[in-house]
Amino acid sequence: MSITVIAEVWRVLKHEIDETSLPDAAESLINILVDNDYEAADIKEAFRRETEVIQALRDYNSQFDEEEYEEEAEEEDEDFDDEW
């Protein structure tokens, strides 16, 4: 499905979502999009005026960056242990 169509559906449906639930709904949307191989740049472009979605994308990216950093740190620790 086109990311443009998904963005349009979001714009229509978000008015039916309780305002306090919008961040959670946006987070779920981001997770679904990423799981279905949509690129962050494409999501950002399609949802550029949707603050909840953009914030959820930022949160997802920062979470991913932290996990990647932790994995790299663990690998470096393992390499260091191997050297001894």
Domain coordinates in residue numbering, the chain:
3-83
Return mean pLDDT, the chain.
85
The pair of structure tokens assigned to 48 is 């550029």
Amino acid at 59: D
- Helices in the chain by DSSP H: which ranges? 3-13, 22-35, 40-46, 51-83
C-alpha 11 chain-centroid distance: 18
- pTM, full prediction: 0.74
Give the pLDDT band (50/70/90) at residue 63.
Answer: confident
pLDDT tens by residue, 2-31: 999 999 999 999 999 999 999 999 999 999
